[in-house]
Structure 1
Amino acid sequence: MNSHFQKQTDHRQQTQIQSFYEPTLRLLSEVYERKKSNLRSKGYDENNAAVTKVELSQKMASRFRITIWLAEQVISSLVKANRVIAFGGYLKPKEAGGK
C-alpha cells in the first residue's frame, strides 16, 4: 500500500517538474541570446555562448519563485528528456546546436 502512495507522489512531482519545461526553455533562450550578444559585441565567436546550470537555476528561482532544488530538478529533467544541449556545467537551447 505504501508503494502505491509513493508512486502517486512521484507522479505529482514529475508533473510539477514538467510544468516548468516551457517557461525554463524560454528563459534559457533569453539568457543564451544575451550571452551571444555580449560575445558578438566584444568581437568573439558567438557560437561559444553557453549558460551555466547554476546561473539558470538561480534565475529560475528568482523569476518563478521556486527553490534552487526544484530548479535543479527541472534542469536535470530537461537534460534527461534531451530538450537542451548539456556539456559539463553548461547548457544551450536545443535549436542552437543545429545552427
Structure 2
Amino acid sequence: MGPFTIELYFKHAPRTCRNFIELSRSGYYDNLKFHRIIEDFVVQGGDPTSTGRGGESIYGSKFEDEIKPELKHTGAGILSMANNLYPPRFDIK
C-alpha cells in the first residue's frame, strides 16, 4: 500500500487524535496489515494481532469516546477510531 495523508479534527476529538498521532509516531502501525476488508465499504487496521481484538492506547487499555454530532461518515476516505469493546484500532470508510 504505502503512505497516505489524513486530516484529524483535534477540536472535536483531541484525545483520539493525540492517541493516533502518538501511536503513529512511535511506529506502532508500521507494517500492520488491514485485518478486515469489506469491498466498497470499509477497511480496518491498527491491530497487531490481526484479529480485530487487539490494539493499544497511550492512555491505557481504553479511553472515553469523543463522538460528536458534527463528525459524520459522509463519503469515502473517512477515518475513525474503534474504541468500544476493545482497545482502539482505526477504520477507513
The answer to whether TM tops 0.5 is no
Flag the structure with higher helix content: 1
TM-score for the superposition, normalised by structure 1 = 0.30
Q: Select the structure of larger CA radius of gyration.
A: 1
TM-score for the superposition, normalised by structure 2 = 0.31
